[in-house]
Amino acid sequence: MSLPPVRLFVLSGANTNLYGLDPTGPYGSLTLENIAEDCRARAQALGASVDFRQSNHEGVLVDWIQEARTQADGIVINAGSLSYTSIALLDALAAVAKPAIQVHVSNVFQREAFRHHAPLTAAVIGCIIGLGPGGYRMAVEALVAHIRR
């Protein structure tokens, strides 16, 4: 018996489009497109699909979270710098009530103190922090498993 397909939105926020430009920085040498390809391949191997999107604009991310209400089974979100400030994203995630996992590519607890609290954590089932770009893939794996339970 085959499992029903799982549809995920993977959303990346402010400045994540700059990944890979400074290989010596906290985000490494992989570009966001490299990360998207990795997520799509892993999802396909799990019998899932990924709609990978990026925006620097909070309202666009809110719109996509709301779209996930009818178009996705779950959300992986790396809101970038909006992770630390956006009550709008928190409210959207809470209102949509889809399982979501938050990703931070860098270890936020080794960075500035303001990064130690992200409001979005109140509306997600878990966080993957500091494991590099592979954190996106891990989030896809964990979310597919969670949805199928």
Average pLDDT of each block of 10 consecutive residues along the chain (149 residues)?
87 94 82 96 97 98 98 97 94 97 86 78 95 95 97
pLDDT at 1: 60
For residue 11, what are the CA distances in angstroms to 66, 92, 109, 149?
12, 13, 22, 23
Q: What is the pLDDT of residues 127-140, one digit of tens each?
A: 999 898 999 999 99
CATH, range 6-148: 3.40.50.9100
pTM of the predicted model over 0.85:
yes
pLDDT at 149: 93
The whole-angstrom distance between residue 122's C-alpha and the CA centroid of its chain comes to 15
Domain extent listing, the chain: 6-148
Active site residues: 27, 104
To the question of whether residue 56 is assigned a binding role by annotation, the answer is no
pLDDT at 107: 83
pLDDT at 24: 81
To the question of whether residue 17 is assigned a binding role by annotation, the answer is no
pLDDT at 23: 82
pLDDT at 111: 79
Nearest to 78 by CA among 145, 24, 138: 138
The 3-state DSSP class for residue 23 equals coil
pLDDT at 112: 66
To the question of whether residue 78 is assigned a binding role by annotation, the answer is yes
